[in-house]
Chains A and B, each alone.
Chain A
Amino acid sequence: MASHLSTKDRLLSLIDDIELIAKEIIEVSIAPKSQKLSAADHAQLTDLLLAKDVELKKTLDLAEEQAKIQQKMNELKGEVDNKDQDIHHLQRQLKDAEQILATSLYQARQKLASIVKSRKRPVSSEELIKFAHRISASNAVSAPLSWQPGDPRRPYPTDLEMRLGMIGRPSDPPVNNGHTPSTLNELHRSTTGGVPAPSTNQFTWHPSGELHMSVGGGNSVAIDGRSKDAHTQEDVEVMSTDSSSSSSSDSQ
């Protein structure tokens, strides 16, 4: 029965018992002779008091042992708390690592996807150089060194290219910017209405670095009327057929 109680409760109940027995003994001692207990009862009470006292001392010894165990437990608890902190620290580091790995995995997957994409549709370096030359030849990257105000050659987009592009096509009212409407209309017709078949457009690459292109019909005439410089004319010719030629290169 006593084993279920905590040591503290046992000690307190023992003190209660001792107090009760001591009071009883004192009361019996004070009481008149008629009410006094027999010697045997008195001895029994005294024995009980002594027994309780012995038990109290024993329980106090037990309490001392438990205090030692408690001290060890406190040390253990401190160590457990330390380990807890270590574990939390490690967990935080692992979480950081996971995040970094996840980001790099995502980036690597993107890179792999673009590698797969590029393998599916390989572009030859020759084609790339050809395209780069075409862009630079048409002053798409930078204006020519000899550029002067009024010179129609300039980096993209000029009004002309805007009109020839997808945005310019559906319904753009022609804006008079110093160009003659007749030449613009004609140009427009040449690319939208009377677009020559891609097979009729031919790029020829010469090792000298020049790009030549022959367009079917007399479509280049329209640009002729707008620009006076022969070199410029050639450039614009290339630009005007840009959309069709790029589509032909895409289809390869």
Chain B
Amino acid sequence: MENNTEHSDQNNFTPLTVQEVDVDFLPIVYEIIRSVERDFHDNSAKARESQDCSQKVLELQKKFDVARAQIKRLPGIDYNKQDQLKQFEILKTQLRLKRELLQKYRNMCSFETSFK
């Protein structure tokens, strides 16, 4: 049990790629509607179809939940693209400034360390 929770925790934090996210809801919706609208003469077939249908509804529900969980694991979508690009620029500027600072320190003057 504990192992399961640990496993699920790990799953919740490992980043996913967009290709791994399953958002194909339409085929299941289509299947559900088709099975609802189908006419059956046989009662047993009707009952079986209705059972299948309810299972598909559950499956659809599960798919929605899984998709939500997967989206939460996608990296880099905590901001919209504009804000993200702003942050990207800020980081670039930071790196440039730090490089310049280091260069300034290095070119400032040379110390003779022989007396150490």
Residues of A within 8 A of B (CB): 3-8, 10-12, 15, 18-19, 22, 25-26, 29-30, 49-50, 53, 56-57, 60-73, 76-77, 79-80, 83-84, 86-87, 90, 94, 97, 100
- State whether B23 touches A3 (Cβ < 8 A): no
The contact string, 1 if C-beta is below 8 Å from chain A, for chain B 69-96, is 0011011111111111101100110110
CB neighbours (8 Å) of B67 from chain A are 15
For B64, the closest partner residue in chain A by CB is: A19
- State whether B98 touches A69 (Cβ < 8 A): no
Count contacts between A and B, CB distance < 8 Å. 124
Q: Is the CB of B45 closer than 8 A to any CB of chain A?
A: no
CB neighbours (8 Å) of B36 from chain A are 26, 29-30
Residues of B within 8 A of A (CB): 17-18, 21, 23, 25-26, 29, 32-33, 36-37, 57, 60, 64, 67-68, 71-72, 74-85, 87-88, 91-92, 94-95, 98-99, 101-102, 105-106, 111, 115-116
- State whether B68 touches A15 (Cβ < 8 A): yes
Contact of B84 among A5, A49, A66, A77 (CB under 8 A): A66
Q: How far is the CB of A24 from chain B (nearest CB, A)?
A: 11
CB neighbours (8 Å) of A73 from chain B are 76, 84, 87-88, 91
CB neighbours (8 Å) of A19 from chain B are 25, 64
Q: How far is the CB of B95 from chain A (nearest CB, A)?
A: 5
Q: How far is the CB of A104 from chain B (nearest CB, A)?
A: 8
- State whether A67 touches B80 (Cβ < 8 A): no
CB neighbours (8 Å) of B75 from chain A are 67, 70-71
- State whether A69 touches B88 (Cβ < 8 A): yes
